[in-house]
Amino acid sequence: MTDIRILVGSVYGGALMTARAIKHTLEAEGYAVLVLENPVLDDITADTSPLLVCTSTTGQGEVPANLLPFYAALRDQLPQQPGRPFGVIVLGDSSYGDTFCGAGELMEEALYETAARKVGETLCIDALETLDPEDEALPWVREWVSAVFPQE
């Protein structure tokens, strides 16, 4: 039984390291966390656990290649997930201007189309301002789990 599934999109490893740090932190608090480095649609349709997107942005506001097949399948098939909680952590770089953190918006839009329910505000981590994404991600994720699992 998994409590949280993390959908990772990463080119250079920053988002992946962040996802692994989140897993480490949350497992110490008793949650079961699955980090999906190459997610496929079956990974989310097979169960109903809350989803955490942890992706960087590449190209011109695009989803990294390892997450792209999942994103495309999600957009294509729109498996309905009514009310399923999800959160979004996105790494980007504000020097990219209009496409800043665009991958997070793409994932959010696609998940909204499945009727999933976003919990919390998207955490957008700017590489220009933050050297270590975990510094922002770990406090954010503690808030996020307490909103997703309010009784715990």
Q: Which SS3 state, helix, strand or coil, does residue 137 take?
A: helix
126 versus 143: smaller Cβ distance to ligand FMN: 126
Minimum CB separation of residue 30 from ligand FMN in Å reads: 27
15 versus 123: smaller Cβ distance to ligand FMN: 15
91 versus 110: smaller Cβ distance to ligand FMN: 91
Minimum CB separation of residue 44 from ligand FMN in Å reads: 20
96 versus 148: smaller Cβ distance to ligand FMN: 96
Residues that bind ligand FMN (CB under 6 A): 10-15, 56-61, 91-93, 96, 99-102, 127
Q: Residue 57: what are its φ and ψ, rounded to 5°?
A: -115, 135
**Structure-block tokens of residue 90:** 């996105």
Minimum CB separation of residue 63 from ligand FMN in Å reads: 10
CA 18 to chain centre: 10
Minimum CB separation of residue 55 from ligand FMN in Å reads: 7
Nearest to 74 by CA among 100, 101, 45: 45
- Measured at the CA of 75, the angle between CA 23 and CA 39, to 5 degrees, comes to 30
Are 116 and 79 in contact, with CB atoms under 8 Å apart? no
